[in-house]
């Protein structure tokens, strides 16, 4: 017969780590220090009343007080732990016959009080004092208190009373007036977190830093309740210890990912994402009330962060370091009044959800109210709408005056404007007629009449004569034609954001991708830069082809698209191109990233002159010098850009735009006869000769030939 020795399970944490001295009691210095001083000075009262929330150390402090009173070295502030009385009343000790603990919940009547009064007059067996610890004293009836009143008022010299209760107002005033009242408090979260981390080290179990706030929150400031929660997590922990996911699942809290998702959806006014989160909460079996409570707590943290940006570091909110960074970013996307209004709506809805039979319906109604400040005619709704308008105005593009620009550096050619890929593909598939160069008469006819109060135009022609015909670019009209004004450059009609606005918001979009995928965030911070934007497409330029291929093949464009929806609220299709000049963090070039040519655009490498507008009839411009011709290449166009050279250049471009059509089969277009069908993009661009080839064919100038 084999005898199996059973191994007993260890005691609960709150029993194993129950304090044995006042120095070990945490969070109650306002009580323990006066008691230690009274013990050391031998000025102990005959009756004490310890009150406070559950699990904050009332009964434990009463036992420590009894040990100190009966210690052989008394009067002493802390028990020695070596005498018989201290060992009997120690943690796990057998107890002392002279220290009697009474549960008032079951011994609160008149008969129990009479029995206590009869036994109290007997002297202690082997200790100095006979101590009665009456726990849950508020459960003693009024008749029982009245029966004890004379004994508590004038006890024998060897008798001491300690009452412990969570509701001191239920103790009759005649008893309270004859005791020294010490109110206990809840333990501060930061102190409790450090205490839990110390206990986990003693137990040899690792715990994630992000899980500690959840344990403290579940304990509610009570040391006993918090240790019970920690004991449950330690029992269910695996080899990796207590993780944040384990704490979230066992304690029933909403995962931070869902809270982040719904808060960012509120900031972007994305109703589909908000109600999608509500559906996830219900489908995963979570309690809508608990989700609403967690959402209210998150909004409370955001309100504090909006008022005090360094709240996570200063300890105003108890969150992990990485969570603090997310809260700061989320609060920046809200207005202060918008956050306050959302928190008020969620708080009011949480009150309505208590006892409701359809909590999901109420949760969806709360989300609908938060999403629609326009439907709120109260002061809070009005201020929330003003907040959103102010945030929108901060990113509204301002129109810049178009000024005369002259070419000062002819050694560096002007960069060609970036064209959307779909536009270039459409042009290659269908041939388009090419107009003739706009004549001076047409330019003068389209130029508006100068206003009477406008300043006189400077003599630009004299400067052109001094600089030479090759160093002067086409002058730009001071007023945009109506066709160009209807489609401003670098602005999308869908989201009304210009390239400058998108680059201003680009750091927030990059930060949002960090929460979704770090690889995408690394690509954007190291290699990518916004080069063009319109109402449907966001074009990113990469410094090399390898970085672009890695970005596209890894599915990063979809991550950027989702981040742009969360931050800006614009649903762009993300295109990645190879742009050697794209440098992350570099300032945007002047008009270099427009999706297409617009009337009034000037080359990017020209210097603006804000002193006065250009004359209505500018001198003709000279194109950049052509590259060194090969032996079999046709003659390069001259610097004067004659009509014959321009016509030949356009005829050479037509075959490239005709998919599958040989050059000799390309239709000839009489540009002089069909001038009314001119392409306005080319007509108003002011490009000719080599610049036109450079823009339409993507050619690159290899070498310039200077003409005397």
Q: Which of 44-48, 67-71, 347-351, 376-380 has the lowest mean pLDDT?
A: 376-380
Contact (CB, 8 A) for 172 and 38: no
DSSP H or E run through 264: helix 256-268
Structure tokens at 304: 């504090």
What was the pLDDT predicted at 454? 44
CA distance 481 to 495: 24
Whether residues 263 and 374 fall in one domain: yes
Whether residues 355 and 369 fall in one domain: yes
Q: Which of 145-149, 362-366, 457-461 has the lowest mean pLDDT?
A: 457-461
Q: Please give the residue that has the higher pLDDT: either 179 or 313.
A: 179
- 293 domain residue, yes or no: yes
Q: Measure the N-to-C terminal CA separation of the chain; round to a whole number of Å.
A: 117
- Read off the pLDDT of each residue in 395-414 and give the average, rounded to a whole number: 39
Whether residues 242 and 343 fall in one domain: no
578, 597, 625 — which closes off a domain? 578
Whether residues 232 and 331 fall in one domain: no
Write out the DSSP string of 145-208.
Answer: HHHHHHHHHS--TTEEEEEEES-GGGS-HHHHTTSEEEE--PPPHHHHHHHHHHHHHHHT--B-
Phi then psi for 294, rounded to 5 degrees? -65, -35
Write out the DSSP string of 547-595.
Answer: HHHHHHHTTHHHHHHHHHHHHT---PEEEEEE-TT--TTPPPPTT-S-S
- Read off the pLDDT of each residue in 315-323 and give the average, rounded to a whole number: 77
Omega of the bond leading into 75 within 30 degrees of 0 (cis): yes
The CATH number of whichever domain residue 31 belongs to comes to 3.40.50.300
What was the pLDDT predicted at 395? 54
Alpha-carbon radius of gyration of the chain: 41
Q: Please give the residue that has the higher pLDDT: either 625 or 545.
A: 545
Whether residues 23 and 171 fall in one domain: yes
CA distance 86 to 109: 32
pLDDT digits (tens, 9 = 90+) for 502-523: 877 888 888 888 888 888 988 8
Whether residues 314 and 224 fall in one domain: no
Whether residues 246 and 265 fall in one domain: no
Whether residues 300 and 246 fall in one domain: no
- 439 domain residue, yes or no: no
- 588 domain residue, yes or no: no
Domain containing residue 222? 189-251
* Of the ranges 368-377, 438-447, 487-496, the best mean pLDDT one: 368-377
Strand order in the sheet with 573-578: 528-533, 537-542, 573-578
Nearest to 13 by CA among 78, 91, 87: 91
Work out whether strand 528-533 and strand 537-542 pair parallel, antiparallel, or are unpaired: antiparallel
The whole model's pTM is what?
A: 0.53
Contact (CB, 8 A) for 18 and 64: no
Work out whether strand 180-183 and strand 404-406 pair parallel, antiparallel, or are unpaired: unpaired
Whether residues 152 and 193 fall in one domain: no
CA distance 349 to 137: 38
Contacts of 289 (CB under 8 A, 6+ apart): 350, 353, 354, 359
The CATH number of whichever domain residue 504 belongs to comes to 3.30.300.180
133, 150, 183 — which closes off a domain? 183
pLDDT higher than 70, residue 198: yes
Q: Please give the residue that has the higher pLDDT: either 708 or 319.
A: 319
Domain count, the chain: 4
What was the pLDDT predicted at 6? 53
138, 161, 183 — which closes off a domain? 183
pLDDT higher than 80, residue 149: yes
What was the pLDDT predicted at 398? 39
- Read off the pLDDT of each residue in 253-274 and give the average, rounded to a whole number: 90
The residue ranges of DSSP E strands in 353-409, in sequence order, are: 404-406
pLDDT digits (tens, 9 = 90+) for 583-597: 565 444 443 343 443
DSSP H or E run through 212: helix 212-219
CA distance 486 to 480: 10
What was the pLDDT predicted at 337? 83
pLDDT higher than 90, residue 604: no
Q: What is the DSSP letter of 126?
A: S
What was the pLDDT predicted at 191? 92
574 to 495, 551, 653: CA distances (angstroms): 15, 11, 29
Contacts of 249 (CB under 8 A, 6+ apart): none
pLDDT higher than 80, residue 390: no
DSSP H or E run through 30: helix 29-40
- 83 domain residue, yes or no: yes
What was the pLDDT predicted at 656? 42
CA distance 563 to 565: 5
CA distance 88 to 32: 22
Nearest to 297 by CA among 277, 335, 329, 323: 323
Phi then psi for 132, rounded to 5 degrees? -105, 120
- 492 domain residue, yes or no: no
What was the pLDDT predicted at 648? 53
- Read off the pLDDT of each residue in 18-43 and give the average, rounded to a whole number: 93
Whether residues 355 and 264 fall in one domain: yes
Q: Please give the residue that has the higher pLDDT: either 503 or 178.
A: 178
Would you tell me the crossing angle of helices 545-553 and 518-526 to the nearest 10 degrees?
160
What was the pLDDT predicted at 396? 43
Query: What whole-number percentage of the chain has pLDDT above 70?
Result: 63
pLDDT digits (tens, 9 = 90+) for 324-340: 888 888 888 887 888 99
Mean pLDDT of the chain: 74
Confidence of residue 179 (pLDDT cuts 50, 70, 90): very high
What was the pLDDT predicted at 7? 58
What was the pLDDT predicted at 447? 43
Confidence of residue 554 (pLDDT cuts 50, 70, 90): confident
Q: Please give the residue that has the higher pLDDT: either 278 or 605.
A: 278
Whether residues 87 and 193 fall in one domain: no
The CATH number of whichever domain residue 226 belongs to comes to 1.10.8.60
DSSP H or E run through 702: none
Whether residues 166 and 295 fall in one domain: no
What was the pLDDT predicted at 406? 36
Confidence of residue 384 (pLDDT cuts 50, 70, 90): low
Q: How many CB atoms lie within 10 A of CB 333?
A: 20
**SS3 call for 377:** coil
CA distance 491 to 314: 42
Contact (CB, 8 A) for 491 and 498: yes
Structure tokens at 616: 């209505």
pLDDT higher than 70, residue 37: yes
């Amino acid at each position: 017969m084999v005898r199996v020795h059973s191994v007993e399970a260890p005691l609960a944490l709150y029993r194993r780590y129950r304090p044995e001295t006042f120095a070990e009691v945490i969070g109650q210095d306002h009580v323990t220090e006066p008691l230690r001083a009274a013990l050391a000075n031998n000025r102990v009262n005959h009756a004490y009343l310890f009150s406070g929330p559950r699990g904050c150390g009332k009964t434990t402090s009463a036992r420590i007080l009894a040990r100190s009173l009966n210690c052989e070295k008394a009067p002493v502030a802390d028990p020695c732990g070596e005498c018989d009385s201290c060992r009997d009343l120690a943690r796990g000790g057998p107890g002392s016959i002279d220290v009697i603990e009474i549960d008032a919940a079951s011994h609160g009547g008149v008969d129990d009080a009479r029995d206590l009064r009869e036994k109290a007059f007997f002297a202690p067996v082997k200790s100095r004092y006979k101590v009665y610890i009456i726990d849950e004293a508020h459960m003693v009836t009024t008749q029982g208190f009245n029966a004890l009143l004379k004994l508590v008022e004038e006890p024998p010299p060897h008798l001491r009373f300690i009452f412990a209760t969570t509701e001191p107002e239920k103790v009759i005033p005649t008893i309270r007036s004859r005791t020294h009242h010490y109110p206990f408090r809840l333990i501060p979260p930061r102190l409790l977190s450090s205490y839990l981390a110390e206990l986990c080290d003693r137990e040899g179990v690792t715990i994630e830093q992000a899980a500690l706030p959840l344990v403290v929150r579940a304990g509610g400031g009570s040391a006993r309740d918090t240790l019970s929660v920690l004991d449950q997590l330690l029992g269910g922990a695996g080899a990796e210890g207590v993780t944040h996911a384990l704490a979230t699942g066992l304690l029933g809290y909403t995962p931070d990912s869902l809270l982040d998702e719904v808060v960012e959806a509120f900031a972007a006014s994305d109703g589909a994402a908000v109600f999608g989160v509500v559906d996830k909460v219900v489908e995963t079996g979570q309690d809508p009330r608990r989700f609403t409570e967690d959402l209210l707590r998150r909004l409370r943290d955001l309100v504090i962060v909006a008022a005090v940006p360094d709240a996570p570091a200063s300890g105003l909110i108890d969150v992990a370091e990485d969570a603090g960074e997310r809260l700061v970013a989320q609060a920046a996307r809200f207005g202060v009044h918008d956050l306050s209004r959302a928190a008020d709506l969620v708080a009011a809805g949480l009150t309505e959800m208590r006892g409701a039979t359809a909590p999901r319906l109420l949760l969806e109604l709360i989300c609908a109210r938060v999403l629609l400040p326009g439907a709120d005619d109260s002061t809070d709704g009005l201020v929330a709408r003003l907040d959103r308008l102010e945030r929108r105005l901060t990113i509204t593009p301002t129109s810049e005056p178009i000024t005369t620009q002259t070419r000062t550096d002819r050694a560096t050619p002007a960069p060609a404007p970036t064209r959307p890929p779909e536009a270039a593909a459409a042009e290659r598939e269908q041939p388009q007629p090419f107009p003739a160069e706009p004549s001076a008469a047409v330019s003068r006819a389209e130029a508006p009449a100068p206003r009477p109060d406008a300043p006189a135009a400077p003599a630009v022609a004299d400067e052109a004569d001094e600089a030479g015909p090759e160093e002067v670019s086409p002058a730009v009209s001071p007023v945009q034609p109506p066709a160009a004004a209807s489609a401003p450059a670098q602005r999308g009609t869908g989201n009304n954001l210009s390239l400058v606005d998108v680059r201003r918001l680009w750091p927030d979009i990059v930060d949002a991708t960090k929460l979704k995928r770090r690889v995408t965030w690394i690509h954007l911070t190291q290699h990518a830069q916004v080069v063009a934007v319109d109402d449907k497409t966001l074009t990113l330029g990469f410094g090399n082809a390898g970085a672009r291929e890695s970005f596209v093949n890894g599915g990063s464009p979809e991550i950027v698209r989702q981040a742009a929806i969360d931050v800006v609220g614009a649903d762009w299709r993300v295109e990645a191109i190879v742009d050697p000049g794209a440098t992350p963090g570099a300032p945007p070039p002047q008009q270099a990233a427009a999706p297409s040519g617009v009337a009034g655009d000037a080359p990017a490498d020209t210097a603006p002159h804000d002193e006065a507008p250009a004359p209505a009839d500018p001198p003709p411009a000279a194109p950049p010098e052509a590259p060194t011709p090969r032996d079999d290449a046709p003659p390069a166009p001259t610097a004067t850009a004659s009509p014959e050279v321009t016509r030949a250049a356009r005829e050479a471009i037509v075959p490239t735009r005709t998919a599958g059509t040989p050059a000799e089969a390309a239709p000839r277009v009489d540009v002089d006869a069909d001038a009314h069908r001119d392409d306005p993009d080319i007509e108003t661009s002011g490009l000719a000769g080599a610049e036109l080839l450079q823009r339409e064919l993507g050619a690159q100038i290899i070498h310039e030939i200077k003409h005397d």
